[in-house]
Chains A and B, each alone.
Chain A
Amino acid sequence: MLFTGCELDRLPETTLADNTFWQSETDLRGACNKLYVDLPGFDHDRRADDIIGTSANGTSSGNWSLPSTSGDWSNPYNRIGVCNNIIAKGGNAPLTDAQKNRWLAEAYFFRAFHFFDLVKKYGDVPLILKAFDSTSDPDIMMARTPREEVIQQCYSDLRFAEEWLPEIDGVSSDADWGRVSKSAARALMMRIGLYEGTFSKYHGLSSDSKAHLKVAVDAAERIINSGKHALYPDYQKLFYFDGEGRQNKENVFVKVYGPNGAGATIAHGNSRQMENGVSITRQAIDQYLYTDGLPREKSSLAMIPETHYDDVFENRDPRLAMTIYHKDEEAYKGGYTPFNNQHGNGYGLKKGFMLDEWTTNSRETVDKMVIRYAEVLLSYAEALYELNGSITDEKLDLTVNTVRARSGFTARLTNSFVQQNGLNILDEIRRERLVEFMDEGLRYNDIIRWKIAEKVLPVTMLGLKYNEDDTSAQREDLQGRLTTEGGMYKGKKVCDQADIYVIEEADTRSFNPARDYYYPIPTYEIATSEGHVTQNPGW
């Protein structure tokens, strides 16, 4: 009564709020920046059979367990939450559709990106498409949506993104570089289509695998036909600062780090990781072809056994020498010496290692290619083959052979070559992915969708070949971990020669096909959804 003039409303004056934000394109762009901050970047994926760490990886070795909570589940949902908020609130900004949609398209792109991430790990997942504004909204406890529905939503989000995002030339300025473009939307569509098509086919899902493969083929063709992309001429430099920016037409979708130098706010420790944490397994090395285009088990050029460390490079696909170090080659700290490294006893990773970045101590800023044009080409080849059961030499030249040739590998993959040598064209396309994208994070998803994890994971993980002359490590120190004559280890043949170091024994590894093709859903999520979210089989 007495103080009727006294107001009780107090609004934030030094904190942005919904009523003061979401007004301009600058605001929307600022909100979208968060999407890039949260975009996963460098990660030496140790879940498959190619990259190995200093201790066993739970997923790779089958020694994983049911977690209470997990970032694998919560991180994508938090990022999807950010996307949904932009879509909901940015959609109400006082702007024209064209102004708004250019930014909403980024949110749609990333929503698809993160849902795809979830589907790859968990299969069916709750399809949350709204920004919650109350803790009592029943949809917070939504049950798992069938994966086909989630994937269709991803396609739909990506169609919106492809429609409204600029062509990649439109984000080529320094300020805009790294922002997603039509190319990124098409490439992600292709990736999802290929994943879902092959997964559905090999795991016998009820969904229409051909339809998904068609999505992949069409999306790949849209990129190829756009003429915006080409391979970078130097496979080695592709991963250095040389490969950054729009000048490298191979960049389709990159995570940008930096800006370079002391003030880096988004940085990584990729090179440090290479020195300290990861190496390549012998079985991955063995996948590299010989110069005659034949695999190790068929090629007469293969040196078995190797008498020196460097023999492994003899007559080999040039990409091997660009992926691992020669002995005494200037590496992490001086010359490379086998068995003398912190990263373990596998082959030392060279691809992407930059000494000047290493010295910045986890303040590295070289950009990460999330999707590069070579993947578009090889995925195109695979999708064509999976869709049609065959692929023409012409398409092989356009894809696999173009990728090989860029690195100076001249052996040509053709239908007749495959026939003559008793090879399988699908195996060769798949091998090409392993070799070309070594340590780029594709392998685990590939072995899952191809349903070959049960074959390649529960096996002996092999490391370096031991040669006394190449290392200061004493044989006695390694005794008991080296294969004997004929590649025998504990009574079993594990490789094709003696003195190969065994990093993990097959006994310690397992893969349960009835369980391990899907991640376990964290118990917290099941409990807090009051049982609406159900567990994956076997967990």
Chain B
Amino acid sequence: MQLLLSCCMWLLMGVSAWAQGNQTIKGTVLDASTREPMIGVSVLEQGTSNGAITDLDGHFTLSNVKTGATIQFSFVGYKNLSLPVAKAQGQILLTEDDKTLSEVVVVGYGTQRKVNLSGAVSAVDGEKLAAKPSSNVLDAMQGELPGVAVLRSSGEPGSETSGMRIRGFSSVNSTSTLVLIDGVEGDISLLNADDIESVSVLKDAAACAIYGARAAAGVVLVTTKNGGEGKPRINYSGYYATNLPGNMPKRLPAWEEQEWINIGRVNQGGKPEWNPEQSSWVGNRNFNYRPNNTNGRWDEFSATNWVDEGTRDHSDQTNHSLSVSGGTKNINYLISGNYFYKNGMLKYGKNDNTRVNLHAKVNAELNKYVAVGVNVQYQSKKNNAPSAGAGNILNNLYGSRARQLIYNPTEDVNYDVNPYNGDLQFNPIQVMKDGGLAETLYETFVGKGDLTIKNLLKGLRVNLSASRRAGYYTGKTERHYLVWYGMTGDNVRQSYNDPNSLYRIKNNDYHDLFEVTANYEFDIKKHNIKLLAGTSYENYRKDEFSATAKNMNSNDFYSFNYYDAAEATNTSLSDNIAPWSMMSYFGRLNYNYADRYLLEANIRYDGSSRLAPEKRWKAFPSVSAAWRISQENWFKFDWVSNLKLRASWGQLGNGAILGLYDYIPTIAQSTVYMGEKSYYQSQLASKDKTWETIETTNIGIDLGFFNSRLNASFDYYWKYNNDMLSNLQLPHTIGIGVPAVNVGKLKTWGWEFEVKWNDHIGDFSYQVAFNISDSQNKLMEYDGADVISAGTVGLLEGYAMNTIWGYKTDGYWSSREEYLAYKEANPGYKSFSDGKVGGGDVRYLTLPDKDGNTGHQVGAGDGTKENHGDLVYLGNANARYLYGMSLSAQWKGFDFSMMFQGVGKRKLLINTEAIAPFGRTYQMPWTIHRDYWTEDNQDAYWPRLYNYNGDMFNFQPSDKWVQNAAYLRLKNITLGYTVPVSNRIIQKLRVYVSGNDVWEHSDILKVFDPESGNNVGRNYYPFFRTWAFGVNVTL
């Protein structure tokens, strides 16, 4: 902060020092075409802060102008104009900047002017992504693009995101978005954000169809930066960030926990765990344990806050990115490197993620006809985590008994062997420290060469490219054996990883792509025609080897050279070679009449090694059209700068679920019989299996107002997966596993809306953008998916995916007597765990059955759509109304931006065991549970305390426990200042502070994040709030 202040001081002093002029200029600014005066145009003496704004009549006056100075006129939507002082007077004409109109977006195998797009494409600048201290590029994309849902998993380093979902579900089966980085398939979360020029997301069939069989889940095209003409330019950007855990459970003080345990046991019908005197010792600093000679254990009365003991209150994240670029007219280059590091919240052991990127790109125009390009990338991602799993350790920290000691008393006979205590539960602190590490390292090398031949014929351009992405994965998991004894040292209380083991996995893979495309563009009067034809061949092969050895010779040294090889079951080896190949032909026609009528048609013909030869090839067509009404001669609304209607239709394939050899009968290994292997075919091969085909229709409108200061677009789409692979319900007489076949049907529909406003008030310019999208789906046909059960039902014919079903409740029973009286009055009524129900237990309602009778046991009926008993529909776990909102403003050297992101509607069920206090004897309650039912607190949120022991009758899926997971989150807030240094060395220096995920509003229980997955459990790893302090320097 001090730095910032002193910079400001320096700036002010500097400004006053330079503001020594000797001239006053006056003039009027007019629109070049309409000759109307322009209000609010900024007039600035370049290199100074000396400026003025035009008034209502377009007049301006600027005094103290130095002789020889340059005056700059700027206005949003108009081209900047710089004039020497002598000419910057009198009538000044500004011409409209058609930059918005000339904006170009990257589409499949080329670029397209945004105004001429007829398909649905959204794009975001790399700059925007790089500006956030996100854990990876995918994370940074959240909320930026309508219809693009980024799936976040947790805050765990290296496991923050699990992918993206474009325009809702395309299939009930897995789908994967095709991500092409400079045309080569890759993983977007491995990229260096500073390398990215732009990210285009192709959303509808028209935009995607050129990618055919793999495009059903959308296509993401990442274009990296190129070097530019000029002297070498060196960019550095870096930050240090501190991560603070977001929503997470807080533990109770030990004495309170003990009191609750006692109450819970009494309510269960038993005795308190400890009598009042013993209970009073819990948390007494001076009395933590005493020997118990009857059971050979310590009686423990400690007050351990496991969460505090085992987690940090903050962790670190750093990012350094350096690039050098430059070039001449004919050749340019860019070289960059990036280092990213983030560690986690576990206090001991390693729990971190390191990413390294190197990138080099050279483009050269050899002559008028030939250009070549080389693009080389290296990416690596290294993760370290406890082999127990960070989530499992957190689960224990959240749940272990507070009265358990961390360390055994020094007089324990076993103290010298293992000082850690594991009497009631295994000791998560020791597991972190000594339980072993899981390391993974993934490295990938990408090399691509391009050759472009052009101008042989006017408008013809032929491109040949070849690329290989080679990946190397290595993983090593050590599971150390830990054992905890009771006081006397002869009774094992807990053990972990028995026997110890070492697992190692290595694979290498490569993915080759050869591609030839030809573009031909010509005009016949006002008819502009562009043709694209291409073909590609892809070849992939992975070779993997993995092995496990158990019973290491030493618990401190893990190598395959040292384990007990005498026992056959201590060794397990496996290998896996996974090849596939694909061949494609594709073509596109673009027709454009006077920038008014636009037509595009695509086709791709794909053949894949995954399918039976006779089913191997399939064509995926699409067609789209647009009408730019605003270009019509009769269109006379000046304030409407753009009005375009779009429509598209097409078919896309999904092959993510296809196996490598689905059409070949393969032989599986079964149980070893008498030392010999046994073999059988477990599943029928399917020669008929083919890609899922998703038919998508999209209609849209693009609008621009006020000289494109306000832009909006709206899209509505619907898609049918008509050949969805579904498990066929066949009689068991078939005698073999039935393969999924193309018989299912899913309908998905939704809309997207985006609006952007940018303007300025004087030299204060600001931008506001808002986007919102919705997607719904309905499982039209899926052979036999008709079972309704309590909880989240993934697949149910006639319903959306992931519907939530549960019981209706009506507060709590006030007493067992009331419950019994109710049963008496409603013969046949019976709640869950009938014998246990008492005051403070959830009152479940029965619904009238087909005879109108409510006197029956609370239950799921037949579990069918016709009779689902007392279960009612409680909502859907799929997020709806995803929105993002950003505000940004720049004033003098300051820049400020805020981005909100959220979900308008979503229901979520938390795992019963996670929220039930004492669901199990090893799952302690949290501070949120303090509002529990007692006779004096009958309106409590939580039921009475009860020692459930696994029978969580108060926590059945019900309207009581379903969570509202809608949220609004301040995704990012950034304040930056560009320090006005102007010297030969430093061209630009900007410092900033930026926060990610710093605030949210949600009604979900405050111990979980609203973005948590369905059925989130106690092994929940909180999301982080990130505060970063960074600098960007350009030399």
Q: How many angstroms between the C-alpha atoms of A85 and B661 in the bound complex? A: 19
> Which residues of chain A are near B575, meaning CB under 8 Å?
14
> Which residues of chain B are near A82, meaning CB under 8 Å?
680, 735
Query: 1/0 per residue A467-501: CB within 8 Å of B?
Result: 00000000000000000000000000000000000
Q: How many angstroms between the C-alpha atoms of A29 and B582 in the bound complex? A: 38
Q: How many angstroms between the C-alpha atoms of A259 and B688 in the bound complex? A: 43
In the complex, are the beta carbons of A8 and B608 less than 8 A apart?
A: yes
Q: How many angstroms between the C-alpha atoms of A524 and B728 in the bound complex? A: 12
Sorted from nearest, which 3 A-B pairs have the closest CB atoms? A81-B735, A33-B678, A74-B732
Answer whether residue B7 sits at the interface, using C-beta atoms and an 8 A cutoff: no
> Which residues of chain A are near B535, meaning CB under 8 Å?
1-3
In the complex, are the beta carbons of A265 and B537 less than 8 A apart?
A: no
Q: How many angstroms between the C-alpha atoms of A15 and B577 in the bound complex? A: 9
Q: Can you spell out 16 A-B residue pairs with CB atoms less than 8 angstroms apart? A: A6-B537, A8-B581, A10-B580, A11-B661, A11-B664, A12-B660, A12-B661, A17-B664, A78-B732, A134-B687, A135-B734, A142-B733, A175-B674, A256-B674, A258-B674, A524-B729
How near does chain B come to A353, taking the closest CB pair, in angstroms? Answer: 24
Q: How many angstroms between the C-alpha atoms of A518 and B616 in the bound complex? A: 48
Answer whether residue A126 sits at the interface, using C-beta atoms and an 8 A cutoff: yes
Q: How many angstroms between the C-alpha atoms of A265 and B670 in the bound complex? A: 11
In the complex, are the beta carbons of B672 and A17 less than 8 A apart?
A: no
Partner of A17, one of B667, B684, B734: B667
Q: How many angstroms between the C-alpha atoms of A185 and B666 in the bound complex? A: 31
Q: How many angstroms between the C-alpha atoms of A265 and B581 in the bound complex? A: 39
Answer whether residue A57 sits at the interface, using C-beta atoms and an 8 A cutoff: no
Q: How many angstroms between the C-alpha atoms of A529 and B569 in the bound complex? A: 44
Chain A stretch 71-98: residues in CB contact (< 8 A) with chain B:
73-74, 77-82, 84-85
In the complex, are the beta carbons of A178 and B674 less than 8 A apart?
A: yes
Partner of A34, one of B581, B616, B670, B738: B670
How near does chain A come to B685, taking the closest CB pair, in angstroms? Answer: 7
> Which residues of chain A are near B688, meaning CB under 8 Å?
134-136
Chain A, residue nearest B738 (CB): A135
Chain A residues near B (Cβ < 8 Å): 1-3, 6-19, 21, 27, 29-31, 33-34, 36-37, 69, 73-74, 77-82, 84-85, 126, 128, 131-136, 140-142, 175, 178, 256, 258-259, 262-263, 265-266, 524-525, 527-529, 533
> Which residues of chain B are near A258, meaning CB under 8 Å?
674
Answer whether residue B416 sits at the interface, using C-beta atoms and an 8 A cutoff: no
> Which residues of chain B are near A69, meaning CB under 8 Å?
732
In the complex, are the beta carbons of A31 and B680 less than 8 A apart?
A: yes
Q: How many angstroms between the C-alpha atoms of A258 and B567 in the bound complex? A: 15
Query: 1/0 per residue B554-568: CB within 8 Å of A?
Result: 000000000000011
Q: How many angstroms between the C-alpha atoms of A2 and B731 in the bound complex? A: 47
Chain B stretch 664-682: residues in CB contact (< 8 A) with chain A:
664-667, 670-681
Query: 1/0 per residue B727-761: CB within 8 Å of A?
Result: 01111111110110100000000000000000000
Answer whether residue B539 sits at the interface, using C-beta atoms and an 8 A cutoff: yes
Q: How many angstroms between the C-alpha atoms of A33 and B733 in the bound complex? A: 22
Known interface pairs A12-B660, A78-B736, A128-B733; 8 further A-B residue pairs with C-beta atoms within 8 A, sorted by A's residue number: A2-B516, A9-B609, A13-B577, A19-B664, A85-B680, A133-B665, A525-B733, A528-B730
In the complex, are the beta carbons of B671 and A37 less than 8 A apart?
A: yes
Known A17-B666, A18-B665: A30·B734 in contact at CB below 8 Å: no
How near does chain B come to A395, taking the closest CB pair, in angstroms? Answer: 38
Query: 1/0 per residue B439-451: CB within 8 Å of A?
Result: 0000000000000
In the complex, are the beta carbons of B732 and A77 less than 8 A apart?
A: yes
> Which residues of chain A are near B608, meaning CB under 8 Å?
8
Among B537, B583, B678, which residue has the most Cβ atoms of chain A within 10 A? B678
Q: How many angstroms between the C-alpha atoms of A3 and B728 in the bound complex? A: 37
Q: How many angstroms between the C-alpha atoms of A134 and B579 in the bound complex? A: 25
Query: 1/0 per residue B393-412: CB within 8 Å of A?
Result: 00000000000000000000
Q: How many angstroms between the C-alpha atoms of A529 and B730 in the bound complex? A: 7
Chain B residues near A (Cβ < 8 Å): 514, 516, 535, 537, 539, 567-569, 575-577, 579-583, 607-610, 613, 616, 660-661, 664-667, 670-681, 684-688, 728-736, 738-739, 741
In the complex, are the beta carbons of B680 and A3 less than 8 A apart?
A: no
Q: How many angstroms between the C-alpha atoms of A134 and B738 in the bound complex? A: 9
> Which residues of chain B are near A16, meaning CB under 8 Å?
666-667, 679
How near does chain B come to A324, taking the closest CB pair, in angstroms? Answer: 33
In the complex, are the beta carbons of B677 and A17 less than 8 A apart?
A: no
> Which residues of chain B are near A74, meaning CB under 8 Å?
732
Q: How many angstroms between the C-alpha atoms of A132 and B683 in the bound complex? A: 11
In the complex, are the beta carbons of A37 and B684 less than 8 A apart?
A: no
How near does chain A come to B866, taking the closest CB pair, in angstroms? Answer: 14
> Which residues of chain B are near A262, meaning CB under 8 Å?
567, 569
In the complex, are the beta carbons of B671 and A266 less than 8 A apart?
A: yes
Chain B, residue nearest A7 (CB): B581
Chain A, residue nearest B541 (CB): A10
In the complex, are the beta carbons of B735 and A78 less than 8 A apart?
A: yes
How near does chain A come to B606, taking the closest CB pair, in angstroms? Answer: 10
In the complex, are the beta carbons of A8 and B583 less than 8 A apart?
A: yes
Chain B, residue nearest A29 (CB): B676
How near does chain B come to A393, taking the closest CB pair, in angstroms? Answer: 44
> Which residues of chain A are near B731, meaning CB under 8 Å?
126, 140-141, 524-525, 528-529, 533
> Which residues of chain A are near B579, meaning CB under 8 Å?
10, 13
Known A3-B583, A80-B735, A82-B735: A37·B661 in contact at CB below 8 Å: no
In the complex, are the beta carbons of B674 and A21 less than 8 A apart?
A: no
Known A36-B673, A37-B673, A262-B567: A77·B735 in contact at CB below 8 Å: yes
Q: How many angstroms between the C-alpha atoms of A21 and B668 in the bound complex? A: 11
In the complex, are the beta carbons of A14 and B577 less than 8 A apart?
A: yes
> Which residues of chain B are near A6, meaning CB under 8 Å?
537, 539, 581, 583
Q: How many angstroms between the C-alpha atoms of A30 and B685 in the bound complex? A: 20
Q: How many angstroms between the C-alpha atoms of A8 and B681 in the bound complex? A: 24
How near does chain A come to B863, taking the closest CB pair, in angstroms? Answer: 10
Known A3-B514, A37-B671, A533-B731: A30·B679 in contact at CB below 8 Å: yes
In the complex, are the beta carbons of B730 and A140 less than 8 A apart?
A: yes
How near does chain B come to A14, taking the closest CB pair, in angstroms? Answer: 5
Chain A, residue nearest B538 (CB): A6
How near does chain A come to B205, taking the closest CB pair, in angstroms? Answer: 25
Partner of A265, one of B580, B610, B667, B673: B673
Partner of B741, one of A1, A132, A135, A524: A135
> Which residues of chain A are near B582, meaning CB under 8 Å?
8
In the complex, are the beta carbons of B734 and A132 less than 8 A apart?
A: yes
In the complex, are the beta carbons of B686 and A259 less than 8 A apart?
A: no
Q: How many angstroms between the C-alpha atoms of A80 and B733 in the bound complex? A: 9
In the complex, are the beta carbons of B661 and A15 less than 8 A apart?
A: yes
In the complex, are the beta carbons of A132 and B736 less than 8 A apart?
A: yes
> Which residues of chain A are near B687, meaning CB under 8 Å?
134
Q: How many angstroms between the C-alpha atoms of A135 and B725 in the bound complex? A: 13
Q: How many angstroms between the C-alpha atoms of A140 and B730 in the bound complex? A: 8
In the complex, are the beta carbons of A30 and B686 less than 8 A apart?
A: no
Chain B, residue nearest A36 (CB): B673
Q: How many angstroms between the C-alpha atoms of A355 and B958 in the bound complex? A: 48
Chain A, residue nearest B672 (CB): A265
In the complex, are the beta carbons of B681 and A85 less than 8 A apart?
A: yes
Q: How many angstroms between the C-alpha atoms of A13 and B660 in the bound complex? A: 11
How near does chain B come to A84, taking the closest CB pair, in angstroms? Answer: 7
Q: How many angstroms between the C-alpha atoms of A1 and B605 in the bound complex? A: 13
In the complex, are the beta carbons of A10 and B671 less than 8 A apart?
A: no
Q: How many angstroms between the C-alpha atoms of A132 and B687 in the bound complex? A: 13
Q: How many angstroms between the C-alpha atoms of A528 and B786 in the bound complex? A: 14
> Which residues of chain B are near A15, meaning CB under 8 Å?
661, 666-667
Partner of B679, one of A27, A79, A134: A27
Q: How many angstroms between the C-alpha atoms of A132 and B244 in the bound complex? A: 59
Q: How many angstroms between the C-alpha atoms of A3 and B681 in the bound complex? A: 35
How near does chain B come to A344, taking the closest CB pair, in angstroms? Answer: 22
> Which residues of chain B are near A27, meaning CB under 8 Å?
679
Q: How many angstroms between the C-alpha atoms of A74 and B733 in the bound complex? A: 7
Known A8-B608, A33-B679, A132-B735: A528·B729 in contact at CB below 8 Å: yes
Q: How many angstroms between the C-alpha atoms of A15 and B669 in the bound complex? A: 9
Partner of A8, one of B516, B607, B666, B735: B607
